[in-house]
Amino acid sequence: MRVLDLFSGIGGFRLGMEAAGHKAVGWVEIDKHARKSYEAIHQPEGEWTAHDITSVSDDDIRLLGRERGPIDIICGGFPCQAFSVAGKRGGFSDTRGTLFFEIARFASILKPKYLFLENVKGLLNHDKGRTFEIILQTLDELGYDAEWQVLNSKDFGVPQNRERVFIVGHLRGRGTRKVFPIGRESAETHCKLAGRLALPGKDQWNRVYDPSGLAPTLTTMQGGRQEPKILVTKQGQQIVRRDAATCIDANYAKGLDNHGQRTGVLVRAINDPGRIKKTQNGRRMKEPDEPMFTLTTQDIHGIYDGYRIRKLTPRECWRLQGFPDWAFDRAKEAGVSDSQLYKQAGNSVSVPVIFEIAKRMEIVK
């Protein structure tokens, strides 16, 4: 089916949709750096495109339908900051929240068979559920029956704990196939963190993880820590600092030797060793067997390699979203900076999740 890719970013939706056999015929993205990566990866020469979705007139949309043929699917992860628990949760009172209605405007004119939308899980309970109720009501008024499900990227082959709500709208009377529920692929897709990385607490700000473990949710910031140096030793603990903002607490007598005795070093990366449980969200490592947190826009990610903590590379962040290396290479070769590559990974969708949903989209004869 023919796909219009709104709020396209670097094209995570597009990669998943095309892998499922659909074809993108147009895209909209306002960020110039994301557009540069999108163009390098997908090479969409000759396709319909626009920068600012709010500047596309109704006549422009009608012309798109006439010149490019019928649009079967409109997809997009409309900006989620207005609904995220990490943001101010302004919802429709926030300008970004109203961008959902731009999708509704496109749908009201083009009448695609499917709407395929993504947002943060917090959308479901924002304003006690009233925001999501407005979205469903809007879709109903447009002639779409909606289904939705919260899916976690870690269940689809990528080592990242990233929960997102996916909404599929079905245009009434067009014979579209039901998509949800989708179960996780296999328990084998889950990875475990090394037991030596234990640290109390379960907040969203762990950022250092074992190479064989699950990553936290990707942010759009670059990640990790350089190898630290010891500054002080206090009461049996080594406080290891790299700079004033970040330090590592290496706590002796916390591991197990070959005989089951406590020994060795527990490396803990925190902002301030005296404020682990306070509001600075200082913890950077996960509990044993916990998945990595979601890549978001606000924090720093690292990887635990022996007793050295290094930052994730941009390529690793793209891999955590399921992007193939050739896609990353094209964006990198186009001259996109590392800081933008980190940001683009954090803002993207997980490609394998999109593929699993997209391959279920078909017209029932």
What pLDDT is recorded for position 131? 87
Same domain, 73 and 90: yes
Same domain, 160 and 223: no
Is 328 within a domain?
no
Tokens 């750096």 — which residue? Answer: 33
Same domain, 118 and 160: yes
Across residues 312-326, what is the average pLDDT?
A: 94
Same domain, 249 and 143: no
Is 49 within a domain?
yes
Look at phi and psi of residue 109 and say left if phi exceeds 0, alpha if psi is from -120 to 50, else beta: alpha
Is 329 within a domain?
no
Same domain, 134 and 283: no
| pLDDT classification of 291: cutoffs 50, 70, 90 | low
Same domain, 310 and 256: yes
Is 363 within a domain?
no
Give the CATH number for residue 163: 3.40.50.150
Percent pLDDT > 70 in the chain is 61
| pLDDT classification of 54: cutoffs 50, 70, 90 | very high
Across residues 170-174, what is the average pLDDT?
A: 93
What pLDDT is recorded for position 276? 46
**Pairing between β-strand 114-120 and β-strand 73-76 as defined by DSSP bridges:** parallel
- Is 61 or 224 the better-scoring residue by pLDDT? 61
184-209 pLDDT, tens digit per residue, is 654 343 333 333 223 333 333 344 44
Number of separate domains in the chain: 2
Same domain, 117 and 253: no
Same domain, 35 and 157: yes
Is 335 within a domain?
no
* Active centre residues (catalytic): 80
What pLDDT is recorded for position 253? 30
Is 338 within a domain?
no
Is 331 within a domain?
no
Is 339 within a domain?
no
145-154 b/e (C-beta count within 10 Å ≥ 16 → b): ebebeebbbb
The predicted model scores a pTM of 0.73
Percent pLDDT > 90 in the chain is 52
17-44 pLDDT, tens digit per residue, is 999 999 999 999 999 999 999 999 999 9
Same domain, 159 and 216: no
The beta-strand segments (E) located in the chain are: 2-5, 23-28, 48-50, 73-76, 114-120, 144-152, 163-171, 208-209, 217-219, 229-234, 237-241, 247-256, 262-270, 295-296, 302-305, 308-311
Same domain, 223 and 125: no
Same domain, 90 and 22: yes
What pLDDT is recorded for position 312? 86
Range of the domain at 225: 195-323
What Å distances lie between residue 277 and 273, 282, 303, CA to CA?
10, 7, 22
76-93 pLDDT, tens digit per residue, is 998 866 666 655 667 666
Same domain, 112 and 220: no
Closest to 127 measured CA to CA, from 93, 163, 77: 93
What pLDDT is recorded for position 79? 80
Q: Does the pLDDT at position 221 exceed 70?
A: no
User: Which token pair is 101?
Assistant: 């209605």
Rounded-to-integer distance, Cα 181 and Cα 109, Å? 29
3-22 pLDDT, tens digit per residue, is 999 999 999 999 999 999 99
